Structure 1
Amino acid sequence: MTLIKSISGIRGTIGGNVDDNLTPLDAVKFASAYGTWLLKRNPSDKKCKVVIGRDARISGKMISSLVANTLVGLGIDVVDLGLSTTPTVEVAVPLENADGGIIVTASHNPKQWNALKLLNEKGEFLDAEEGGVILDLALSQDFDYAEVDKLGRYSKLKNYFKKHIDEVLNLPLVDAEGIRKANFKVVVDAVNSTGGLAIPQLLEALGVECIKLYCDPTGHFPHNPEPLPEHLKEISKLVVEENANLGIVVDPDVDRLAIVNEDGSMFGEEYTLVACADYVLSKKSGNTVSNLSSSRALRDVTEKHGGTYEASAVGEVNVVKLMKKNKVVIGGEGNGGIIYPESHYGRDSLVGVALFLSHLAQLKVSCKELRDSYPQYFMSKNKIELTPQIDVDAILSAMSKKYSEEDISTIDGVKIDFEKEWVHLRKSNTEPIIRIYTESGSQEAADELALRFIEEIKVIAGL
């Protein structure tokens, strides 16, 4: 059982002991810290407002109720979207003129997990400084709850998906008419969470025939909810059986998007962003950003269109920060997270679906043909566990010096770019582990590169 506190929120398993798991008391304490932070950064005479929403997890209603009533107890008005998605809450915060937002979701984690994701008044994740203040407040428990006449008001807003979908359809590069004319047939796997409500509504608005697989928002995940190839065998089979044009897979909070080709093969999570960027860059010149552990294919596609690519440290807040600095037209993370500034600065599978289908409709090619048109890269993701006594930072420093003649980035661990492949070494913040990500022109080459670096690390560590 686990409880993880970070700048972006609190995440843990339901049940167990306080401070060791995500218990009701932990939810109240952290919501109190967030609400207190909001009140302190706004004028004392202002009535603050927070938008909340949740995915379909079994524990979602319990945690969401605790969070909402805690905020009300602090004198903060709460607008509850109920069953929602992470990007829908992000869109709702500025639309509702709110001062912040909380999404009750543990993203791709299994059903025993839940979490609070915290947003600012722009509907964007908090930065390190803001998150640090909230962590300190949660530790000190310096809370001042409202008197009875100053309690916040609680209200519900139903089916905010329609507003979100309208926002998506109004994006200039979303070719709704072209998608309708293409007569797409799509299978959707939403792992029995809120994507099963949002994605079919979007597809219906686009005139796409939708075949639902695990779209009942019960919170009982029928398979591992992380949209990786090994978890998607059922939708791969159904896409072929239904003679569908493609399959769409989202995680429980709908900020990660994976595509299945018409032959049941994987388009690849890394290539969701590549395809959407290719489409956007074909219409509008500009630059792109993803994180250091994302595929080199985005760089290749960006340069093909005359733009410049840059990589940020891992983490959505870091990606967004660099996107704003570079004024990019599209960016995101290689795990299927599309961030399109024209809409908002958050990973959004609804935006991703609309851009992807627009691209496919205009090119008039199959999903597999589109995938085959991109540079072929393969990734390997590994880790090496070390003893607590070993200095992980010293190992990473030694690796950086050893490969100093290569193209190296040390903004987040050590990334070494070779001519045709790369390796990214990152340490865990919670345990003595080095994560090893590699990419090359074949799966075998990527795996071999990873094994080579694992052995080199072992030698330096004296293992």
Structure 2
Amino acid sequence: MTLIKSISGIRGTIGGPTGENLTPPDVVKFTTAYVRLIAERTSGHRPTIVVGRDARISGETVSHLVIGTLLAAGADVVDAGLCTTPGTEMAVITKQADGGIIITASHNPRQWNALKLLNADGEFLSDAEGKRVLTMAEECDYDYPSVDEIGHVVAAEECNDDHIRRVLALPLVDVEAVRARKFRVVVDAVNSVGGIVMPRLLRELGCEVVELNCDPTGEFAHNPEPLPENLTEISQAIARERADLGIVVDPDVDRLAFVSEDGSMFVEEYTLVAVADYVLSARTGNTVSNLSSSRALRDVTERHGGSYSASAVGEVNVVAEMKRTGAVIGGEGNGGVIYPELHYGRDALVGTALFLTFLAKRGGTMTQLRATYPAYFSSKNKIQLTPSIDVNKVLCRIKERYAGERVNDIDGVKIDFAENWVHLRKSNTEPIIRVYTEAKSMAEAEALAHRFIGEIEEICKL
């Protein structure tokens, strides 16, 4: 199957040969390398690492391996148990830990799991730090501490509730305004950890909650990526329940998608756009998203008098650009909202609370709000990689062909045409080339995608 080592962590399928999948020896190897990196920075004290996981069925097994390895390497562990990615990130901050490991493969199917590695700020390791972990993982000369130096575990089951409390305490989250609207909300948490936290958050906000796939068994009720083709069940439930909106999260709750009152997709690209619209109405400032995200964020930002900039794909890259530009809101077009007033991480809980505050204060329906934004349509396609495909060669050829256009090559190749754009890049999380396009109609976006898929296939045959 597959083992992927990248800026997004160590990700692979469970079972199979060592070194080709995420097997127990691989988990131990990379966890050991990570704690060695952290220990280099904490020479004056024993490192403390927070560990949290989503509800996927391999999570408990991988968690035992990770925690045991951390203890054996001389680190103390704060065991957050079933905890969201943003909740684990927040716990690193609030517990004043030296790092964190989140056991989740995010939107990947049930056979996948991963180790997401955090620094002392509760943020993902930088590219340089990630490469250092990979190098250290291949070294075979590490001596584990003696029995008197092994670490200890502290359970921290309160991390999810603490995260919710901190979200509700934010100045731009108007709890009373949301409670007054008495929203009826359908929640689809794909039977993972979102089923624990999202209903709690919404009930604190005075919402009437209809739970859909909220039992955290790890048996995903549908493909866990919150794309329209995977969300037919919630669309039907919204109509049946006469709900005001639907909320969908991925297994680790760092991505957020909304469904309107008529069952139509608000479109996950517009999650960040709407939240940014609200934040910018109250806070003058800049915004950031990655190269694969919609132009709509740029349009909304400029309407509020701010400046927009794009980063390479990957949360760590978005965060770096947000810090560089002093952005007040940012994230990714996959439904990832990063609100630095709380923390620098994609967070579906803070995204939900800010969005509901906005909707409550402005009045009207989801479809009415959606109609206020520029109408862009995105097409997200992929090409499965094979050993014969030289991705660098393909992208270089495409760049040469379109040298006369506006080309950005900080992450793959993005070509900005006057009325549309295409972004081609190798995925950090799957063995694929991503082909993202955006245009003013879906037909145009899909035609642009098919055109470039054809060009890539042509280049691969040369």
TM-score class, shorter-chain normalisation, is over 0.9
Q: Quote the offset at 1:8 in angstroms.
A: 3.4
**Structure-2 separation of matches of 1:120 and 1:430:** 20
Aligned to 1:272: 271
Aligned to 1:375: 374
Establish whether residue 414 from structure 1 lines up as the match of residue 413 from structure 2. Answer: yes
Identity %: 62
Aligned to 2:249: 250
* 1:62-77 → structure 2 map (5 Å cutoff): 62-77=61-76
Q: Tell me the number of residue pairs that the alignment of Structure 1 and Structure 2 aligns.
A: 462
Q: Quote the offset at 1:18 in angstroms.
A: 1.4
Establish whether residue 26 from structure 1 lines up as the match of residue 26 from structure 2. Answer: yes
Q: Quote the offset at 1:429 in angstroms.
A: 7.2
Change (3 A) 1:95 1:105: same
Aligned to 1:444: 443
**Structure-1 separation of matches of 2:103 and 2:34:** 13
Change (3 A) 1:142 1:94: farther
**Structure-2 separation of matches of 1:28 and 1:72:** 11
**Structure-2 separation of matches of 1:77 and 1:242:** 47
Aligned to 1:41: 41
Q: Is the 8 A contact 1:51 1:78 kept in 2?
A: yes
**Structure-2 separation of matches of 1:245 and 1:380:** 27
Q: Is the 8 A contact 1:250 1:257 kept in 2?
A: yes
Q: Is the 8 A contact 2:7 2:428 kept in 1?
A: no
Q: Is the 8 A contact 1:90 1:123 kept in 2?
A: yes
How high is the TM-score relative to the length of structure 2?
A: 0.96
**Structure-2 separation of matches of 1:449 and 1:153:** 55
* 1:137-176 → structure 2 map (5 Å cutoff): 137-176=136-175
**Structure-1 separation of matches of 2:448 and 2:97:** 48
* 1:418-437 → structure 2 map (5 Å cutoff): 418-427=417-426, 434-437=433-436
Tell me, what secondary structure is at the counterpart of 1:121? Answer: coil
Tell me, what secondary structure is at the counterpart of 1:224? Answer: coil
Q: Quote the offset at 1:389 in angstroms.
A: 5.5
> Considering only aligned residues, what root-mean-square deviation do their CA atoms show, in Å?
1.8
Segments of 5+ residues of structure 2 without an aligned counterpart are none
Tell me, what secondary structure is at the counterpart of 1:140? Answer: coil
Q: Is the 8 A contact 1:392 1:432 kept in 2?
A: no
Tell me, what secondary structure is at the counterpart of 2:374? Answer: coil
How high is the TM-score relative to the length of structure 1?
A: 0.96
Residue type at the aligned position of 2:273: V
Change (3 A) 1:207 1:430: closer
Q: Is the 8 A contact 2:257 2:268 kept in 1?
A: yes
Q: Quote the offset at 1:151 in angstroms.
A: 1.3
Residue type at the aligned position of 1:36: R
**Structure-1 separation of matches of 2:457 and 2:75:** 53
Aligned to 1:93: 92
Which deviates more, 423-432 or 164-173?
423-432
**Structure-2 separation of matches of 1:451 and 1:435:** 12
Tell me, what secondary structure is at the counterpart of 1:186? Answer: strand
**Structure-2 separation of matches of 1:124 and 1:303:** 28
**Structure-2 separation of matches of 1:123 and 1:34:** 14
Q: Quote the offset at 1:336 in angstroms.
A: 0.3
Aligned to 2:53: 54
**Structure-2 separation of matches of 1:134 and 1:359:** 42
**Structure-2 separation of matches of 1:430 and 1:235:** 26
Q: Quote the offset at 1:228 in angstroms.
A: 0.7
Q: Is the 8 A contact 1:79 1:157 kept in 2?
A: yes
Tell me, what secondary structure is at the counterpart of 2:138? Answer: helix
**Structure-1 separation of matches of 2:228 and 2:398:** 32
Change (3 A) 1:397 1:254: same
Q: Quote the offset at 1:133 in angstroms.
A: 0.9
Aligned to 1:320: 319
Aligned to 2:280: 281
Q: Is the 8 A contact 1:53 1:89 kept in 2?
A: yes
Aligned to 1:181: 180
**Structure-2 separation of matches of 1:286 and 1:56:** 37
Q: Is the 8 A contact 2:8 2:314 kept in 1?
A: no
Q: Quote the offset at 1:57 in angstroms.
A: 1.1
Aligned to 1:200: 199
Tell me, what secondary structure is at the counterpart of 1:180? Answer: helix
Q: Is the 8 A contact 1:7 1:130 kept in 2?
A: no
Q: Is the 8 A contact 2:419 2:439 kept in 1?
A: yes
Aligned to 2:131: 132
Q: Is the 8 A contact 1:388 1:432 kept in 2?
A: no
Q: Quote the offset at 1:408 in angstroms.
A: 1.9
Tell me, what secondary structure is at the counterpart of 1:373? Answer: coil
Establish whether residue 4 from structure 1 lines up as the match of residue 13 from structure 2. Answer: no
Q: Quote the offset at 1:388 in angstroms.
A: 5.0
Q: Is the 8 A contact 2:328 2:339 kept in 1?
A: yes
**Structure-2 separation of matches of 1:387 and 1:216:** 37
Once the two structures are superposed, what CA deviation does each residue of 1:261-289 show, in whole Å capped at 9, x if it has no partner?
00001000100000000110111111111
Change (3 A) 1:311 1:390: same
**Structure-1 separation of matches of 2:7 and 2:426:** 17
Residue type at the aligned position of 2:127: A
